[in-house]
Amino acid sequence: MRLSLVSVVSVLNYKGGVGKTTVTANLGADIAARGRRVLLIDLDPQSSLTFSFYRPQEWERSLAERTAMQWYASHSWTGNPTKLSETVVTPPRVNEMVSGRLDLIPSHLGLVDVELDLAAGLGGSRYQTFSPDYLKTYRLLADALAEPPFDGYDIVLIDCPPNFNMVTRTAVVASDHILVPAKADYLSTLGITYLRRRLTQLVDEYERVAGAHLMINPVILGVVFTMVQYAGANLMTKLSGYINTLRETEVPIFEQTIRESKSVFADIGEAGVPAVLSRSSTANVEYDLQQFTSEFLARIRT
């Protein structure tokens, strides 16, 4: 169990294309704008969160050799583990606009290969619980975030890949909460039920190995519906239907939704400033994002 007071939240959904990275970037930026110290960790090999704050040329020039991939690889390939704190960078443009601080651990496409090696080290895709390296591997991120360099953060947000593979599992073990962005459609709501079941299975399996002294309790903080369209009665009826279906499963749901706006979100990464802080953002989108942040902070009580 972590002794740090930092709140660690994994942002996770099995289904891609649900606004997971958009939620993470804007939530982190808005929390930093409110005076908190925020760390974002990009564990998705697509690196979309990283490119929300850095242009590809900047990543190639300054970040490509200090990413989450190199850190995980140092524990699985090289035999010479590095410190996670050595991968932390401070995006300049967004930090000019916040009263707190926003830091980032960037991602890399090579995380795909690291994932395979981490799994192989435990005996393959089933991640056998009898492996002597089970706890060491599952706790990689949790133990790293418990180190002193991370004590100064108020919140850590982890942008997970859209799967439940080994890298995602290390994020879940490190987390206090799980935040689930979702579109109001059949596949998203179906995936949430499956995700909830997999979380329960992971906790049960992990605690059988770890015992009482290293128990974990990653609680689903809630589902936030994204890409919501407000035009037309039929769309609102469908939205209400999916939300009500999810409520029947007793999964928590955020009251605030985030509306779809291709004109606001499409090219926002090029400026290195998320929409919630961007001067080009519309009042409606800014309102949605800020209200969601307020509800999020109330739920984690920080």
Quickly list DSSP for 168-190.
HHHHHHH-SEEEEEE-SSHHHHH
The fraction of the chain above a pLDDT of 70, given in percent, is 88
CA distance 134 to 210: 9
| pLDDT score, position 264 | 54
Query: What is the mean predicted confidence (pLDDT) over 293-299?
Result: 97
| pLDDT score, position 217 | 93
pTM, two decimals, is 0.92
| Position 241 pLDDT exceeds 90 | no
Contacts of 52 (CB under 8 A, 6+ apart): 21, 25, 268, 269, 272, 274
> Residues, the chain, total?
302
| pLDDT score, position 2 | 45
| pLDDT score, position 72 | 95
Q: Which residues pair with 259 in a beta bridge?
A: 228
| Position 1 pLDDT exceeds 50 | no
Q: Which residues pair with 40 in a beta bridge?
A: 104, 157
More confident residue, 145 or 240: 145
Domain coordinates of the chain in residue numbers?
Answer: 7-300
The CATH number of domain 7-300, selected from 3.30.530.20, 3.20.20.70, 3.40.50.300, 3.30.1490.190: 3.40.50.300
Buried-exposed string 140-167: b where 16+ CB fall within 10 A, e elsewhere: bbbbbbbeeebeebbbbbbbbbbebbbb
Digit-coded pLDDT (tens) for 27-68? 999 999 999 999 999 999 999 999 999 999 999 999 999 999
Binned at pLDDT 50, 70 and 90, residue 144 comes out as very high
Lowest-confidence pick of 114-118, 198-202, 213-217, 279-283: 279-283
Buried-exposed string 104-139: b where 16+ CB fall within 10 A, e elsewhere: bbbbbebbebbbeebbebbeeeebeeeeeebbebbb
CA distance 81 to 84: 9
Query: What is the mean predicted confidence (pLDDT) over 155-180?
Result: 95
**Cα 260–102–89 angle (5° rounding)?**
115
Query: What is the mean predicted confidence (pLDDT) over 279-295?
Result: 88
Binned at pLDDT 50, 70 and 90, residue 284 comes out as confident
| pLDDT score, position 185 | 78
Between β-strands 37-42 and 155-159, what pairing exists: parallel, antiparallel or unpaired? parallel
| Position 132 pLDDT exceeds 90 | no
Binned at pLDDT 50, 70 and 90, residue 301 comes out as confident
Lowest-confidence pick of 87-96, 171-180, 211-220, 244-253: 244-253
